[in-house]
Structure 1
């Protein structure tokens, strides 16, 4: 069995079917075929976008396209963030494109930069949006007076003359690098815009649309995070300009990254396909873990790889420490590839806490706030029961006393043993009542208390079904995890290999080991 390995969050430089964990190649091949098959239209259609959120794999897909298109295009890959500190990002792009070609003469290089520098000077101040009264969206315009103010009194050319000179020199540049046996078209990939300052993003996109498309053989392919561009537009124009309208004006053709509803290939790097059968909950381990992340709405590839890498580190620690009695209970009974042990419930608990620790740190800290849990419990009973405060207080006290915070402090082995078998019940306590109380309190553990309002709903074992019990204004990972537990709890605990690890230990384990 192949040993799991840590995966890098950097773009995959040489994407193959073995390293394509996100289904990127299929999308890349479709885009490749489109670009090769439509070269005759590149004198009019020159701006292409690839939409995808941060971490969705845009860079890997564009790197794949760059490699695959080298025989049909002269390719350039401009990583905008590397030039973020430059005062004029558009000028940096021009220098990058021209300096990457050794065939152009020093005279041509000098001329194109001279005139390019003149028209790009003061770019940010000169760009303005034309807000129409009809629904076609905003148009990009220039305020030439802003350019004039930026030009030195000693300049011998007007802005318009400089613009005409730039057009001529840019086309000379195109002819030079596409002559002979070279490909007849150029494609410039622009990546990492979502890492740049908002003003830089808008200036660069506007400069490409306004000036760089004067060429007849060069197209631009930009990786775009709509959220980042939306924030940039909001920063500069407030609510007057809508990001979708702006992007429609900039780009002629757009593509989108594949939706990551199927994360099985990535999950399978870390989890094997052994069979899991827990009463009515059954299937392959890697598939069930994938389903868990999908239900958690946690499928961003970059974030997912980070969590899985952390999990792999913990599993390696467990392998090293498993024969050391001193550290026998320092890590939960999680699945390790090549090891027959492993508890599914403890594995998803571990993955959940890793997600909280990395991306919802406030909720991670609140989980250990017992006073908050008591308040949430009290509020739940208050909203459900129309009794007096005295009766409500007595009810809360009885529940808390019944479980004695066992859902937090008791080992999972003891907790689940008591839940399933009713072991060690005090004073002949009713098992059904005990299970009802401990299940309810267990679910309360995973709510941070922010934005949750108790509502009416049908009850499970005497308490509310989670999805109708909490009306949550912003559903975050703790909500989705608790909802997952409500649906699967009685199946997931049908295991006899729970460890002596408790919920209270997760915080210390993650902070100490990771």
Structure 2
């Protein structure tokens, strides 16, 4: 086990999942079409967008296409993203010129025009924000652009453009047309825009807006990897905030929709699909080979981990990155705690990765062995109310989970798990950035369920019955605030005020109507707190449930 490795989350050089065939098809589109369009590679975070774009780039004919890479995230904080985008183009041309001596001068001349365009745009921005000497600088920048395109000296004053963007992109268009038009040289620049997933939504939108400035330049093809849903929501939010719905309805205009915006930008859309169950073995084999895993680790992952992993993939919506994270979480767990039962660790990990099994995770974290006992009665004795009797909020557990924990399926090991607490706390250490105090807080709040039920069945609610309960709530809310801090202060204080008020005002037995309402309010507090705890716990998790 000492030699076991972590699988790196990096783009694959030998992609599986049909990426190679897809890359060939998109490469043919890029090389066989008029170079003035945008390809969108749509997929969620971790779905393989970078891997596919790198595969396309490797297949391009380097003598006819100049491939450039633009990492959107790296330049997200730039005040004007057109500047670094142009700089990437300029650097790419210089690099290409160094490798192609016969067309070196043309490439360098074009790179020079790009550099002057950057200079002009920077000058324009300087003027806009009122920097000293900006007017003189902007004039000289536009003048140099005019000179770069061999303007006739005597017509220079009349023809020097006064619009920074117009000057820059007119010069760029003419220069690229000349450079890309030669029969012996390249005829297109292919810009791969990656890492939009890492940008804040507004940053991702600004990258797309910067790209639009190139759309009138023949010779440019953009290949953009993005999460379509994230960008569409950013656009919807931006234009909803900027528009006046009432005015729109009066003048016949309508708000710009994200879906329409995306359709207009991307002439060639391609959506990446989640990993299918039929592709799992192929994908795992490729991952093991590319990661150069030792034989013992491969064998363990194949025989012990893959059977559990299939229950993640069968749910759909799982991407390559999530599969790697699942494998890595297991590897870290067994390296830290090699004495633990591995199938139990895997079963708990599988539950954490399944979004539709959230109620199961809540039951396990809340009630531990008590939940397992109820689960046994449900699975082995077919007691359909066993879990609801424990906690009525856990009644939405899907049948797929009960199938997973039924013999001979791999999750059946949970029914006889020993030292469940140790496995839960060990697994949490590898899957969450939160303190293990969160697990204590979840357990303590959940345990109040039986005490609330006890109050409900009590003959009387008076000081003697409410005072011990008040201490339990105080202890639980104290643990919650210790684990979660100020986020939980409001609801904790509100809950304690509700309890303390009842304790202080109840001299004799509480009447039946007030008792019923007060207990209902207490259960509502408990559920609110539990929902907030679980929401925070899952947000702090390093896994992405599927």
State the aligned residue count.
368
Which residue in 1 is equivalent to 2:233? 231
Deviation at 1:97, TM superposition (A): 0.9
* 8 Å Cα contact 1:366/1:448 also seen in 2: no
Contact 2:405 2:414 in 1 (8 A): no
Q: Does 1:266 align with 2:258?
A: no
SS in 1 for 2:28: helix
1:116 and 1:166 in contact (8 A); partners too:
no
> How far apart are 1:193 and its partner, in Å?
1.4
- Match of 2:68, SS state, is strand
Pick aligned residue for 1:435 from 363, 378, 381: 381
The structure-2 alpha-carbon separation of the partners of 1:27 and 1:272, relative to structure 1 and needing over 3 Å to count, comes to farther
Tell whether 2:75 aligns with 1:83. yes
CA gap of 1:294–1:511, structure 2 versus 1, over 3 A, is closer
Given the superposition, is the C-alpha separation of residues 312 and 254 from structure 1 closer, same or farther in structure 2, using an over 3 Å criterion? same
Is residue 242 from structure 1 mapped to residue 233 from structure 2 by the alignment?
no
- Secondary structure of the residue aligned to 1:255 is strand
CA distance in 1, matches of 2:230, 2:116: 35
Distance 2:40 2:208 in 1: 11
Query: Are 2:290 and 1:293 equivalent residues in the alignment?
Result: no
**Residue of structure 2 equivalent to 1:306:** 325
- Alpha-carbon contact 1:111-1:169 (below 8 Å) kept: no
Counterpart position of 1:386: none
How far 1:79 sits from its partner (Å)?
Answer: 0.8
> In structure 2, do the counterparts of structure 1 residues 434 and 363 end up closer, same or farther at CA, with 3 Å as the change threshold?
closer
Partner of 1:391: none
The structure with the largest strand share of the pair is 1
Q: 1:400 — aligned with what?
A: none
CA–CA separation in structure 1 for the residues paired with 2:358 and 2:411 = 31
Moved more, 232-241 or 491-500: 491-500
| 1:102-117 equivalences in 2 (<5 Å) | 102=94, 103=97, 104-105=108-109, 107-117=112-122
**What is the Cα deviation at residue 68 of structure 1?**
1.5
Matches within 5 A, 1:360-379: 364=361, 367-370=364-367
What do residues 91-135 of structure 1 show as CA deviations (whole Å, max 9, x unaligned)?
11011111232241475244222344467x49xxxxxxxxxxxxx
Task: Name the TM-score, length of structure 2 as normaliser.
Answer: 0.56
CA contact (8 A) 1:174 1:217 kept: yes
Please, which of 194, 209, 217 is the counterpart of residue 219 of structure 2? 217
Aligned counterparts, 1:310-459, within 5 A: 310-316=329-335, 321=338, 327=339, 331-334=340-343, 346=344, 348-355=346-353, 364=361, 367-370=364-367, 405=370, 407=372, 435-437=381-383, 441=386, 449=393
Cα pair distance change 1:350/1:36, threshold 3 Å? same
2:190/2:221 contact within 8 Å kept? yes
Equivalent pair of 1:206/1:250 in contact (CA under 8 Å)? no
Unaligned runs of 5+ in 2: 98-107, 140-159, 242-254, 289-296, 432-546
Q: 1:34 aligns with which of 29, 33, 36?
A: 29
Given the two structures, how large is their TM-score scaled by the length of structure 1?
A: 0.59
Q: CA deviation at 1:228?
A: 1.9
- TM-superposed deviation, 1:247: 0.5
Where does 1:161-240 land on structure 2 (aligned, <5 Å)? 162-173=165-176, 175-176=178-179, 179=182, 181-209=184-212, 211-238=213-240, 240=255
- The alpha carbon displacement at 1:189 in A equals 0.6
Unmatched 5+ stretches in structure 1:
123-145, 276-283, 322-326, 335-345, 374-403, 410-414, 420-431, 455-469, 471-478
Matched, 1:55 2:46: yes
Do 1:55 and 1:303's aligned partners in 2 also have CA atoms closer than 8 Å?
yes
- 2:405/2:413 contact within 8 Å kept: no
CA distance in 2, matches of 1:433, 1:495: 10
Change (3 A) 1:149 1:444: farther
How large is the RMSD of aligned CA atoms in angstroms? 4.4
- Native 8 Å contact 1:193 1:201 kept in 2: yes
Contact 1:83–1:89 (8 Å) recurs in 2 = yes
**2:271 matched to which residue of 1?**
256
Q: 1:408 to 1:513 in 2, by over 3 A?
A: farther
8 Å contact 1:24–1:258 — kept in the other structure? Answer: no
Following TM superposition, by how much is the alpha carbon of 1:197 offset from its aligned partner in structure 2, in angstroms? 2.8
The structure carrying a bigger helix percent of its residues is: 2
Offset of 1:191 from its aligned partner? Answer: 0.6
Contact 1:32–1:68, Cα closer than 8 Å, also in 2? yes
Q: 1:138 aligns to what?
A: none
Rg larger in structure: 2
Would the aligned equivalents of 1:167 and 1:214 in 2 still touch at CA under 8 Å?
no
Q: Distance in 2 between matches of 1:197 and 1:494?
A: 38
Deviation at 1:171, TM superposition (A): 3.3
Whole-Å Cα distance in 2 between the matches of residues 228 and 433 of structure 1? 40
Verify the 8 A CA contact 1:27 1:258 in the aligned structure 2.
no
